């Protein structure tokens, strides 16, 4: 039998009876003798359960990449001649630097509509992309979508040349032909994107250029870089807009 156990990798030793305990030695109660073993088993169980919990726990969710915007108070910009018809909204990031001021005339692409977003970019903002990409982002904030874009041209204003492209804006089941606009000012880092739509036909570029010339800094003390930018544009305005307005009037 010992040879068979050896082949199975087991060892066999004959049992030797233990000598009885000394008569004068008292054995501990059986419960006290079990306590060390129970403690070791409990500790091992806790360790195993802890490992299982760590493996089963989901990884911590990464922080959201979407910026959190809050009300920024009074808008920094205005539009000359717009009066009470102009609606303004100013948002800033709740953490870090970044601000978007939106100016809107009209109710949407279905009629006469001008929407301009003036963004002071922060470190969290992506770098400007293609004109189509930036217009798509601006359209998403406005609740519309750019479904088509033509090759852009340049629209001269007192702030510099805007990129202007014919775009198709979709909202619900309808789509309208409008103009998409973008100006990237390096100093300060000001990005102006927007759309202009007309109730009938396409917006007249000359009239649109005069509207853009009407952009104003409502709080010049808020940012020195913006104040310098608008002061330089004021010196460059001249009578160009007046000339364009004369060209845009219908001849009698």
How does pLDDT run along the chain (252 residues), one tens digit per residue?
A: 445 444 444 444 554 555 544 444 455 554 445 445 545 544 444 434 443 333 333 333 333 344 588 989 889 999 998 988 999 999 998 887 889 999 999 988 888 999 999 999 888 888 899 999 999 999 999 999 999 999 999 999 999 999 999 999 998 878 889 999 999 987 788 999 999 999 887 888 889 999 999 999 988 777 888 999 999 998 876 555 655 555 544 454
Is 115 within the bounds of a domain?
A: yes
pLDDT at 49: 44
**Phi-psi domain of 14 (left: phi exceeds 0; alpha: psi -120 through 50; beta: other):** beta
Total count of domains within the chain: 1
The answer to whether residue 11 sits within a structural domain is no
64 found inside a domain: no
* pLDDT score for 4: 47
How far is it, in rounded angstroms, from Cα 152 to Cα 101? 24
Question: Which residue is listed with tokens 């959190």?
Answer: 68
**Residues contacting residue 81 through CB under 8 Å, at least 6 positions apart:** 214
CA–CA separation, 183 and 173 (whole Å): 30
Q: Which residues have a Cβ under 8 Å from the Cβ of 161 and sit 6 or more positions away?
A: 154, 155, 183
pLDDT value of residue 164: 96
The reply to whether 225 falls in a domain is yes
Round to whole Å and give the CA distance between 165 and 151: 6
Q: Is residue 198 part of a domain?
A: yes
Is 40 within the bounds of a domain?
Answer: no
> CB atoms < 10 A from the CB of 202, how many?
14
Q: Nearest 10 degrees: CA dihedral of 34, 37, 42, 48? A: -150
Structure confidence at residue 238 (pLDDT): 53
Full domain range(s) for residue 230: 69-248
Is there a domain that residue 15 lies in? Answer: no
The answer to whether residue 23 sits within a structural domain is: no
The alpha helices in the chain, defined as continuous H runs, are: 2-7, 30-56, 131-142, 205-213, 224-236, 240-248
Identify the CATH number of the domain in which residue 194 sits.
Answer: 3.40.1000
Helix, coil or strand: residue 246? helix
Q: Do 135 and 142 contact (CB within 8 A), yes or no?
A: no
**What is the pLDDT at residue 243?**
55
89 and 77 in contact (C-beta within 8 Å)?
A: no
The CB density around residue 82, as the number of other CB atoms within 10 Å, is 17
Compute φ and ψ for 174, nearest 5 degrees: -105, 165
User: What pLDDT score was predicted for residue 36?
Assistant: 52
Residue 161 has a pLDDT of 94
């Amino acid at each position: 039998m010992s040879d068979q156990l050896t082949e199975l990798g087991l060892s066999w030793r004959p049992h030797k009876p233990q000598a009885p305990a000394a008569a004068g030695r008292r054995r501990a109660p059986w419960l006290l003798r079990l306590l060390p073993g129970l403690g070791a088993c409990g500790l091992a169980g806790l360790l195993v359960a802890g490992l299982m919990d760590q493996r089963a726990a989901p990884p911590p969710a990464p922080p959201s990449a979407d910026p959190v915007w809050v009300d920024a108070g009074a808008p920094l910009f205005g539009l000359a001649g717009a009066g009470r018809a102009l609606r303004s909204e100013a948002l800033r990031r709740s953490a870090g630097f970044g601000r978007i001021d939106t100016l809107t005339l009209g109710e949407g692409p279905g009629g006469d509509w001008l929407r301009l977003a003036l963004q002071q970019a922060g470190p969290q903002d992506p770098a400007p992309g293609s004109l189509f990409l930036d217009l798509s982002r601006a359209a998403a904030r406005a609740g519309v979508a750019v479904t088509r874009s033509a090759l852009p041209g340049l629209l001269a204003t007192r702030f510099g040349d805007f990129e202007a492209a014919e775009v198709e804006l979709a909202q619900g089941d309808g789509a309208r032909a409008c103009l998409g606009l973008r100006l990237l000012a390096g100093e300060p880092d000001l990005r102006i994107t927007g759309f202009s739509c007309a109730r009938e036909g396409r917006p007249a570029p000359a009239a649109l250029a005069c509207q853009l010339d009407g952009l104003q800094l409502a709080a010049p003390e808020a940012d020195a870089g913006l104040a310098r930018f608008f002061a330089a544009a004021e010196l460059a305005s001249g009578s160009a807009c007046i000339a364009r307005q004369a060209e845009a009037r219908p001849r009698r």
